[in-house]
């Protein structure tokens, strides 16, 4: 299995769209990690000036990067570079997220078969306040296969 540093370095994202600070736990059944919302995140320029709140789509992306992509790279355990294809999300949002908040993501595997991963994912603030919860799924695709017919 890949180590945590190997998984983070193999992520296909770059700043300002990389939303993984650290991975706390990885095993065959679950994954957890964190991301701290920076004061100067690009999306705060328009959401909402003077009262910045993290958009739900960004919270969903944070949940997917940690709970699907990192987890999928770990479970796939291959040296072939892969890209995630996010296929579905059903997320309930409970409370708002502001600059400076540290999010803790926990993902529990529902299934992983035929390179498709489905998970129950929760997002909480550091004080254990529930931010969002739901199911997400995605597929792993070899990078060299992108663009092939």
Instruction: Please indicate whether residue 47 is annotated as part of the active site.
Output: yes
**CA separation (Å) from 111 to 1, 35, 146?**
18, 25, 24
| CA gap 119, 101 in Å, rounded | 24
Element spanning 133, H or E: strand 130-142
Q: How wide is the angle at C-alpha 19 spanned by C-alphas 84 and 143, nearest 5°?
A: 25
Alpha-carbon distance of 55 to 126, in angstroms, equals 18
Question: Residue 80 has what DSSP assignment?
Answer: S
Closest to 4 measured CA to CA, from 54, 71, 65, 50: 71
User: Per the residue annotation, which of 47, 102, 115, 116 is the catalytic one?
Assistant: 47
| Residue positions annotated with a catalytic role | 47
């Amino acid at each position: 299995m890949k180590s945590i540093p190997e998984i983070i370095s193999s992520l296909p994202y770059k700043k300002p769209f990389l939303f993984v600070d650290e991975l706390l736990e990885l095993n065959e059944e679950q994954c957890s990690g964190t991301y701290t919302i920076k004061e100067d995140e690009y999306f705060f320029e328009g959401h909402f000036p003077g009262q910045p709140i993290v958009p739900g789509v960004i919270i969903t992306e944070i949940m997917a990067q940690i709970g699907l992509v990192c987890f999928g790279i770990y479970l796939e355990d291959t040296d072939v570079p892969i890209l995630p294809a996010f296929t579905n999300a059903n997320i309930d949002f409970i409370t708002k997220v502001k600059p400076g908040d540290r999010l803790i993501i926990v993902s529990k595997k529902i299934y992983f078969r035929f390179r498709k991963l489905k998970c129950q994912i929760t997002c909480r603030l550091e004080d254990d306040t529930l931010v969002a919860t739901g199911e997400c799924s995605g597929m792993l695709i070899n990078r060299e296969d992108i663009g092939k017919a």
